[in-house]
Amino acid sequence: MPVHAQPFGDFVAMICLVCDEQLPAPEPQDDGDPPGEQAPADASPRAQGRVPTSRPAQPRRPAAVGRSYVRPILFTLSAGLFGWSVGLVDAMGALLPAADHGAPGAVGAALALGGGYGTWRVLSLPGVASIVPAGIVGRAIATVFVASVMPGLTPDLVQVLDHYGAYIGLDSSAVALLAAASAMVGGLYWLVDRRFKAMPLPVRWLVRVPLASALVAVVLYSPGPR
């Protein structure tokens, strides 16, 4: 860009807008105005070495519509009512008093299942599976061994739960009941219900019947006196 002196407007120098450097004025030409006074062919900021910093306005997304939970609730409730009508709720509800009043057995079963599953998962890790002898056979033997040993810890665990759980109102019977209810509902969801989400609606409804029946059985169960 040309630089003109004030107040007479003499053409004295050139200045570079890109590098902000002052350059000497070119020699005057007889056939027209100085080069600095000629209008540039492209006066856009990109042609002058300046990239606009502002981004084009993005289109606004429509506000998310709140999800309705009425249909899922009705879907599960209807499946639970069907399970209650065919006696499935009563069959699943019979497991809850057994866990409530037979805490040692429930705790022992939970220890066996948890110990066996944990052992199988740990021995299947890449860094551990390579050192386990006999491959999958060794893993199966170790899993069965741990699952058979873990119930031996039941008396000590029940005693600890009865002693320290009294401070928060959860003795061994309450813990066994919560563990049984969680295992029944969570197991049905994890092993059955979630695997059929992509199926047609009637199939999903039939698969939801066991899970919904377990939920109804847990809601309707009243522990009563122990």
Average pLDDT over residues 87-115: 83
Least confident among 43-47, 157-161, 216-220, 221-225:
43-47
Whole-angstrom distance, CA of residue 165 vs CA of residue 158: 10
Q: How many helices (H) and strands (E) does the chain have?
A: 9, 3
Summarised one tens digit per residue, pLDDT across range 24-60 is: 777 765 554 555 445 455 555 454 555 555 555 555 6
Estimate to the nearest angstrom the gap between the alpha carbon of 34 and the chain centroid.
68
Confidence of residue 83 (pLDDT cuts 50, 70, 90): very high
Nearest to 204 by CA among 212, 196, 195: 196
pTM over 0.75: no
Summarised one tens digit per residue, pLDDT across range 126-172 is: 888 888 887 888 889 999 999 899 888 888 877 877 777 767 777 77
Whole-angstrom distance, CA of residue 121 vs CA of residue 108: 20
Q: 86 is written with which tokens?
A: 């065919």
How much is the pLDDT for 82?
Answer: 94
Nearest to 176 by CA among 78, 117, 109, 88: 109
Where in the chain are the domains? 71-220
Nearest to 26 by CA among 39, 41, 37, 40: 37
Question: What is the H or E stretch that residue 114 is in?
Answer: helix 103-123
Cβ distance 46 to 39 under 8 Å?
no
Q: In this structure, what is the dihedral angle of CA atoms 34, 40, 45, 48, given to the nearest 10 degrees?
A: -60
Confidence of residue 210 (pLDDT cuts 50, 70, 90): very high
Cβ distance 206 to 183 under 8 Å?
no
Nearest to 102 by CA among 53, 50, 156, 154: 154
Comparing 17 with 181, the larger pLDDT belongs to: 181
